[in-house]
Structure 1
Amino acid sequence: MPSHRDHGHAAEHHQPRLRRRLVNTHHSANTHPLIWLAAILCTVIAIGVVIAGIVVFVGYVVIHPRIPVISITNAHLDLLSNDYAGLLQTQLTIMVLAQNGNAKAHATFSDVRFNLSYQGQAIAVMVAGIIEVPKNSSQTLRYVVQSKSIPLTPEQMEEVDQSWKRDIIGFDVKGSARTRWRVGPLGSVRFWCNLECQLRFHPSNGSYIKHSRCTSESK
């Protein structure tokens, strides 16, 4: 049977190995300096983004600019012709106003795109490049839209006939534009202007029936 002295020797024999394990475990738990550096950089970037957002927000509140809008201010039905074969031809002149009501901020309109249709039948797409509008000013876009012969269904042909009798016909406009304006030297604010309305005319003389709904809403 092993004596107490033998047990003591065995404990002394295993004790250094246990120490080595503890030392190795403590060494592997140390964090690499690159990880600390990455964490510090991420923290600095996050703080910078928060500060920039606060600065832009404060500038927006101080200046409180009006959101630029796009409106259809006038139009004319230059041509409306349909035949017994169910083919429709039309031409419209449409005046689109890009308006910047900000007295302290220059505005930019881009990605301007509006679809013109009749009873679900596509007529044309109205587009424009970048539009620069100074402070408290506006710029007018003039579109002359001419369709090719549009084949109509019997129901649509009946609707055109009724439009002639009522002396009222409507065309649908739907689209959007991106607006951006600077909040002083602090940053910029962006919105989408969405426009959806119906242009109504008197076919007898082509005159436009004005209403207030053809103005964009911001999103």
Structure 2
Amino acid sequence: MPANPMFKKRLYHGPHNRTHPLLWLAAILCTVFAIAVIFVGIAAFIGYILIHPRIPTLSVSFAHLDLLRNDLAGHLQTQVRIDVRAQNGNGKAHASFSDMWFKLSYQGQDMAVLRSDPFDVAKNSSKYLNYVVQSSSIPLTPDQMAEMTNSWQRNLIGFDLKGNARTQWRIGRLGSVKFWCHLECMLKFHPLNGSYIPSRCTTESK
């Protein structure tokens, strides 16, 4: 079947079957676009490398056990103050925090959830979030009641704090770099006076 003369006319011009200028133009535009994509990728990677050493973190900077009360029926009431520090140690990029939640529990018994609306932290700066966690009367199992008795005798009690938050760097016009920060630690107190026993309680990025 003979080739369509109209199709041939669109692709070639002249007696020597030279490539049509529109095909050259399309090829040039594709090449320029590919180079631009590669350049943007390299620039973003370089920007990431420059700011990567200091990942934003969340950590417990201070805490206090305001109330710890349990009755003979095995019901527990608590009030805990927790100060969380959001730190951006990078001097070249702002950081934002979102989707933040941390669960406070005792011996596997959930007490409260700490949340926060999205917020920003300026370059090489930090922000403090102050929580007052009040738990309603929590029924304890016999094993938990025995552990509570031991805590009073040893003057030492621990609460588990576990959760996640999303952090993000804005790198000018190059876009952003996102991380998930994971926190899992135990907050320890002296129940007789409510004082906090400082320990490492800092997020790890992944």
Shorter-chain TM-score: what band?
Answer: 0.7 to 0.9
CA shift, 1:53, in A, is 2.4
Deviations 1:81-135 (A, max 9, x none): 0011010000100000000000111110111100010001110000001111001
Q: CA 1:147–1:47 in 2, change beyond 3 Å: closer, same or farther?
A: farther
Residue 122 of structure 2 aligns to which amino acid in structure 1?
P
**1:154-169 aligned within 5 A:** 154-169=142-157
Counterpart secondary structure, 1:66: coil
Partner of 2:17: none
CA shift, 1:62, in A, is 3.5
**1:108-119 aligned within 5 A:** 108-119=96-107
Partner of 2:121: 133
What number of residue pairs does the alignment pair up? 187
Consecutive unaligned residues of structure 2, counting only runs of 5 or more, are 12-22
| CA RMSD of superposed structures (Å) | 2.5
- Report which of the two has the higher share of helix: 1
In 2, Cα distance between equivalents of 1:218 and 1:146:
29
2:110 aligns with one of 122, 127, 147: 122
**1:59-70 aligned within 5 A:** 59-64=47-52, 66-70=54-58
Q: CA 1:46–1:153 in 2, change beyond 3 Å: closer, same or farther?
A: farther
Q: Normalising by structure 2, what TM-score?
A: 0.82
2:182 aligns with one of 178, 181, 194: 194
CA shift, 1:43, in A, is 8.8
Counterpart secondary structure, 2:192: coil
Structure of larger gyration radius: 1
Partner of 1:102: 90
Residue 144, structure 1, aligned to residue 132, structure 2: yes
Deviations 1:34-60 (A, max 9, x none): xx9xxx899987765544322200122
Deviations 1:137-191 (A, max 9, x none): 0000000000011000000000000000000000000001111112243221111
- Report which of the two has the higher share of strand: 2
**1:16-55 aligned within 5 A:** 23=1, 49-55=37-43
In 1, Cα distance between equivalents of 2:88 and 2:35:
33
Runs of 4+ in 1 over 6 A off after TM superposition: 40-47
Residue 149 of structure 1 aligns to which amino acid in structure 2?
S
Q: CA 1:91–1:116 in 2, change beyond 3 Å: closer, same or farther?
A: same
Partner of 1:185: 173
In 2, Cα distance between equivalents of 1:170 and 1:46:
57
Partner of 1:215: 202
Q: CA 1:71–1:42 in 2, change beyond 3 Å: closer, same or farther?
A: farther
- What is the aligned-residue identity percentage? 62
In 1, Cα distance between equivalents of 2:176 and 2:199:
32
Partner of 1:15: none
Q: Normalising by structure 1, what TM-score?
A: 0.78
